[in-house]
Chains A and B, each alone.
Chain A
């Protein structure tokens, strides 16, 4: 069974540019989460999709971040325009419905560097 995949693995962009990160969850997992780790600090929750609906986006830092999950399969996270403080590692995770929803499977992350 394929795990959670993320693309790209690394991205280096200049301040003001746009970047789109992609996450493909485990097949059949309705729950999809985005997290971010900035500057070696704790991993912080960004948002949670259930299928194509945003269940909780309380962790999104500001309106420069836009997440979508069309069709309830893969998800994208767009940062526009990127700022220096957006640098970090962006993790995606997925989980099943029900009690299994708490067991999240993480992807390898996308390391974003904004210069």
Chain B
């Protein structure tokens, strides 16, 4: 069975600083990997996905993520955080028609 670990429950960064959110997964085969964001009162929005090919994937809102098979990781990065990025972020692995999510990481952005 697949599983996802997001080691950081809460992260605080200053506006303009860089960001990296960690995600480790467990899955027997090549996974389909996703990052979602949930802003207060909103649904889950897909930021980016990895299916195959280039291990560095670009997403919306200036986010990117790198798939590292050797480390079973799919960390999310952004070079310069904006106040509007404050939200909860979820990493997920898709397999057999369903997604398995991590516990989420809440991002706070300091002015």
Q: Which residues of B contact A45 (CB under 8 A)?
A: 98-100
Tell me the complex Cα distance, A40–B46, Å. Answer: 19
B102 and A42 contact, CB distance less than 8 A: yes
B43 and A106 contact, CB distance less than 8 A: yes
Contact of B46 among A101, A103, A108, A109 (CB under 8 A): A103
Q: In whole Å, how far is A67's beta carbon from the nearest beta carbon of chain B?
A: 14
Q: How large is the interface on B (under 10, 10 to 19, 20 to 34, 35 or more residues)?
A: 20 to 34
Contact of B43 among A59, A103, A107 (CB under 8 A): A107
**Number of A-B residue pairs at CB separation under 8 A:** 56
Q: Which residues of B contact A7 (CB under 8 A)?
A: none
Tell me the complex Cα distance, A43–B32, Å. Answer: 17
Q: How large is the interface on A (under 10, 10 to 19, 20 to 34, 35 or more residues)?
A: 20 to 34
Most buried by B among A31, A40, A56, A106: A106
Q: Would you call B89 an interface residue if the criterion is a C-beta within 8 Å of the partner chain's C-beta atoms?
A: no
Q: Would you call B101 an interface residue if the criterion is a C-beta within 8 Å of the partner chain's C-beta atoms?
A: yes
A91 and B44 contact, CB distance less than 8 A: yes
Q: In whole Å, how far is B97's beta carbon from the nearest beta carbon of chain A?
A: 5
Main secondary structure of the interface of B (DSSP, over half): strand
Q: Would you call A29 an interface residue if the criterion is a C-beta within 8 Å of the partner chain's C-beta atoms?
A: no
User: What 8 pairs across the A-B complex have the smallest Cβ distances?
Assistant: A108-B43, A106-B44, A43-B101, A102-B94, A45-B98, A102-B32, A42-B103, A106-B43
Give residues in B with beta carbon < 8 Å to A.
Answer: 4, 32, 36, 41-46, 49, 51, 90, 92, 94, 96-104
Further pairs besides A4-B43, A43-B104, A103-B49: 17, Cβ < 8 Å: A3-B43, A35-B101, A42-B4, A42-B101, A42-B102, A42-B104, A43-B101, A44-B101, A45-B100, A91-B43, A91-B44, A93-B44, A102-B51, A104-B46, A104-B99, A106-B36, A108-B42
